[in-house]
Chains A and B, each alone.
Chain A
Amino acid sequence: MDASLKIVIVDENPIRAAILEEGLREAGHVQVVRIEDTTRLLARVYAIDPDVILIDLENPSRDVLEQMFQVSRAVKRPVAMFVDQSDKASIEAAVDAGVSAYIVGSLRKDRVKNILDLCISRFNAFARLQDELDRTRSALEERKVIDRAKGILMNAKNLSEEAAYALLRKTAMNENKKIAEVAQSVITAAELFK
């Protein structure tokens, strides 16, 4: 592994950036710099003078980096990762994962291929994590709604907790809805009757 490479990560999402940085460090890259604030991005990048720049595709500042190919004042002339026509699969994988990589100067592409691969897998891992978090969060929300609806039914109909839940579940099955949806209707109705 190439410890001499200086790598810049431009990502406004600090968690994802940290996950990526950790991956790069585990792979033996010690010179990793994160940029979260993209004000005066070009000046910052020039000051760091990296060999590789990684940027997330949600970042509007990606267009700022594209200018680096044009600027004659630049010490080094960066080259896009994607210049290799034959490497369509890795372009697709990167775009799909939501990340783009730029190589600075005359660095050989095969030296950076594994960095991009690592980047893609970490970005995908982050997306899965995010997805899981979203699902957990919505499950938690549903749990709260169901608990409130149970409470309402227990009071209004003088039911036990089990019976209140069974009623919600039976109604949901009959109406072909999710229990959380029925529970939300119960809460809405109860609000109306207040």
Chain B
Amino acid sequence: MSGEKLRIGFIPLADAATVIVAADKGFTAQEGLDVELVREVSWSNIRDKLNVGLFDAAHLIAPIAIASSLGLGHIKVPIAAPFVLGTNGNAITVSPTLHAAIAEAADGDITDPAVSGRALARVVARRKAKGGEPMTFGMTFPFSTHNYQLRFWMAAAGVDPDEDVRLVVLPPPYMVESLANKHVDGFCVGAPWNSVAVDLGIGFILHFVSEILARAAEKVLGVRSTWAQENPDTLTRLLRAHGRAAAFIEDLANRDEVSAMLAAPHRIGVAAEVIRRTLDGRLKVAPDGTVRASARYLLVGREDAARPDPVQAAWLYAQMVRWGQAPLSPELLAVAEGVFRPDLYDAALGKPLEPFVGESADRIGAFAGPAFDPNDVAAHLAAWKIGRR
């Protein structure tokens, strides 16, 4: 195969689907691009290899693109996110013991995050009263949606994520093992790891994150801003290939083919049936086989989900401020919003004729608190008692 060579890094997760299908189904080749996909083991590696130019583009957790652009935790390398690879798609899974304790302490339906949060607060308080060690929850990276989603859910119910429980970073492939050997009581991670825990009978999916936030940008296709500037034509072709791949994935007629493609050992490397559950949004949530379905579990391309929305970037930046990772300033907010690039998306794929009308007016749809206003991050922060500012 000839064509312009590009190296793209990814982590074996279901929301790498668009990157994998774009290359393996030949959409990138049709655009004259010779893409080499490189499977990575850590987000730190992906970030560093993208930053130093060993990767041209990468499957990236959205907050890493923002943190890198703000120079938080590492060297400052401005990143552009011209395409959203996945919206939502994470889930919170808890051990059978914690699940039973939450169900027992609940004052209603625990699929409602307000109810499950209050129940968690009671479980935490009882444990503290007995002098027990705080519970531990796993998430994937300090600058991750998983971290912010767990914190948002807990803190809304009065559980302080730094004082009342412990949050620890765990690489996704280690989550299930850590739950099995009781190093953690629960975790927030992307597909397929929640399903793997349920299938092994060691975990219950408590929440899809779409129950906590109706619309949360999860993974983006990240490139260095300078690279985007210097290679506009290549970027356009890359985005067109991703647009076609996302549409191909969302077409139900292709679902078996897509699931098999993603399941390949050198790609995600789990059973195709498990991938299919994720794409269909029909997940087994309990070891007894109970299924929960959601049309919002993982959005790949439908509902304009692939088009970057700066409001999402602003919300993520607000979480960084709330949890003490970044100071609050209008300049930093502008940098964060500027990471999400609908202009580059539109240049390659055309601007949607009508903006998508979602069910939540603020385009975030959090289960608790006032509507999010990107022009008033201070108000968002003031709405919460618990925070690390």
For B122-157 the 0/1 string (1 means CB < 8 A from A) is: 000000000000000000111000000000000000
Which bucket holds chain A's interface residue count? 20 to 34
Is B48 within 8 A of A100, CB to CB?
yes
For B161-181 the 0/1 string (1 means CB < 8 A from A) is: 010000011110110000000
CB distance from A72 to the nearest CB of B (A): 7
User: What separation, in Å, do the CA atoms of A84 and B76 have in the docked complex?
Assistant: 10
Is A85 within 8 A of B45, CB to CB?
no
Quick one: given A59-B42, A62-B44, A91-B48, are A67 and B169 in contact (CB under 8 Å)? Answer: yes
Residues of B contacting A72 in the complex (Cβ-Cβ under 8 angstroms): 162
Total residue contacts A-B, CB cutoff 8 A: 74
- B170's partner among A64, A82, A91, A92 (CB-CB below 8 A) is A64
Quick one: given A80-B73, A82-B74, A82-B75, are A66 and B44 in contact (CB under 8 Å)? Answer: yes
Quick one: given A66-B141, A88-B52, are A58 and B75 in contact (CB under 8 Å)? Answer: no
A70 within 8 A of B: yes
User: What separation, in Å, do the CA atoms of A95 and B325 have in the docked complex?
Assistant: 25
Is A60 within 8 A of B173, CB to CB?
yes
Residues of B contacting A39 in the complex (Cβ-Cβ under 8 angstroms): 183
B302 within 8 A of A: no
Residues of A contacting B48 in the complex (Cβ-Cβ under 8 angstroms): 82, 91, 95, 100
Which residue of chain A has its CB nearest to the CB of B52?
A92
CB distance from A100 to the nearest CB of B (A): 7
B379 within 8 A of A: no
CB distance from B252 to the nearest CB of A (A): 34
Residues on B facing A (Cβ under 8 Å): 41-45, 48-49, 51-54, 73-76, 140-142, 162, 168-171, 173-174, 183, 325
A-B contact pairs, 18 of them (CB 8 A): A57-B41, A60-B174, A62-B42, A63-B141, A64-B169, A64-B171, A65-B44, A67-B169, A80-B73, A80-B74, A82-B75, A83-B74, A85-B75, A85-B76, A88-B52, A91-B48, A95-B45, A95-B54
